[in-house]
Structure 1
Amino acid sequence: MARRLRSVDLDFIESAPLRLVFTAEVRAHPETVYRALADDVAGWPSWFTSVTAARPTEDGAGREVRIRGGTVLRESILAADPGERYTYRVDESSTPGPKALLEEWRLTPAGTGTRVRWTFAADGSAAFRFALRLGRPGMGRAFREAVRNLDRRLGGAAA
């Protein structure tokens, strides 16, 4: 059963009760990384192993993402700035606990490659926030592995 989450805007990335921020670098240029994030939604499972399926919805204005363990998320794209950022809000989740979720992928040039910063902004029940804090190291490992996989997939390709 889908649970509707609170609709939040871009400023939630700074005001969320819980923010988890992770960074890593890839050899590919920001435009190339952006295309993998925003234009190849269906390709996410090939590099982000926590994602089992992903597909664009609403003519690209939304996404449906399935996460390992059975969670299904329905999302709305809030910012799609080529080569700079890709931000989406979770509108519905099959998992109890979250009240509001927003994820932002920021891309900045780093030498000849890209620094990727993933911010996971959340609000939810006390148990949900506790579980996220406890799961932070695992989320960090999953992010770093995903970025390594993405780097290999992109082959450090130029834009």
Structure 2
Amino acid sequence: MHPCERVGIDFVETAPHRYANSVELAVTPEQLFEVLADADAWPRWASVITKVVWTTPEPRGTGTRRTVTMRGGLVGDEEFLAWEPPRMMSFRFNEASTRTVKAFAERYDVVATPTGCRLTWTLALDVRGPSRLGMPLGKPVMNSVFRRFLRNLRTYTDERFA
């Protein structure tokens, strides 16, 4: 594992590479947080994720840790910067299995709507090495992938809470 910069929650607004996408869900904010707290749910909607393991005991909160394993062998040791159900959560990578990841953080903002809730997911990162050159060109593809994950989340929550 390689150390990543210990960025704060503000990194999702200032990172060199940011991806923000939203989805309308037909579930309550509380139900959405039930899904976000469920380690087994993540691989069901974010297909890049193969395994999530909470490494600190409940209750969840700021400072909670987990390990996320992704396709391609990427592993991230995450620490939650905020855990404020049912409206917001944010985490960063403290370490990653690749040296390419310089800094990484995500923020999930949830707003209640008349038909459920709206989730805005912001992923922010900085990278080292040659990967820096291709990041701007890859933004449309990355946003497309993240929008697909959010559609998958909508399908998953529709089925789980039908």
Q: Return the letter of the residue paired with 1:24.
A: V
Q: Once the two structures are superposed, what CA deviation does each residue of 1:124-144 show, in whole Å capped at 9, x if it has no partner?
A: 226333333333233323322
Give the structure-1-normalised TM-score: 0.87
Deviates more, 1:71-80 or 1:20-29: 20-29
Identity %: 33
Contact 1:83–1:107 (CA under 8 A) maintained in structure 2: yes
Structure 2 residue 112 is the aligned partner of structure 1 residue 109: yes
Residues 127 and 25 (structure 1), Cα distance of their counterparts in 2 relative to 1, 3 Å cut: farther
Contact 1:50–1:142 (CA under 8 A) maintained in structure 2: no
For structure 1, which runs of at least 5 residues remain unmatched after alignment?
Answer: none
SS in 2 for 1:137: helix
Partner residue, 1:28 = 27
Partner residue, 2:155 = 152
- Deviation of 1:66 (Å): 1.0
Partner residue, 1:83 = 86
| Residues in 1 aligned to 2:145 and 2:107: alpha-carbon distance in whole angstroms | 16
Q: How does 1:10-89 map to 2 (within 5 A)?
A: 10-37=9-36, 39-59=37-57, 60=60, 61-89=64-92
Residues 135 and 68 (structure 1), Cα distance of their counterparts in 2 relative to 1, 3 Å cut: farther
Counterpart pick for 1:135 among 132, 135, 138: 138
Q: Return the letter of the residue paired with 1:29.
A: T
Q: Return the letter of the residue paired with 1:57.
A: T
Contact 1:34–1:86 (CA under 8 A) maintained in structure 2: no
Residues 139 and 114 (structure 1), Cα distance of their counterparts in 2 relative to 1, 3 Å cut: farther
Residues 94 and 115 (structure 1), Cα distance of their counterparts in 2 relative to 1, 3 Å cut: same
Deviates more, 1:90-99 or 1:132-141: 132-141
| Residues in 2 aligned to 1:63 and 1:132: alpha-carbon distance in whole angstroms | 26
Give the structure-2-normalised TM-score: 0.85
| Residues in 1 aligned to 2:135 and 2:145: alpha-carbon distance in whole angstroms | 13
Q: Please give the root-mean-square deviation of Cα atoms over the aligned residues, in Å.
A: 2.0
Residues 110 and 94 (structure 1), Cα distance of their counterparts in 2 relative to 1, 3 Å cut: same
Residues 102 and 73 (structure 1), Cα distance of their counterparts in 2 relative to 1, 3 Å cut: same
How many residues align? The count is 156
| Residues in 2 aligned to 1:138 and 1:52: alpha-carbon distance in whole angstroms | 21
Q: Return the letter of the residue paired with 2:21.
A: F
SS in 2 for 1:155: helix
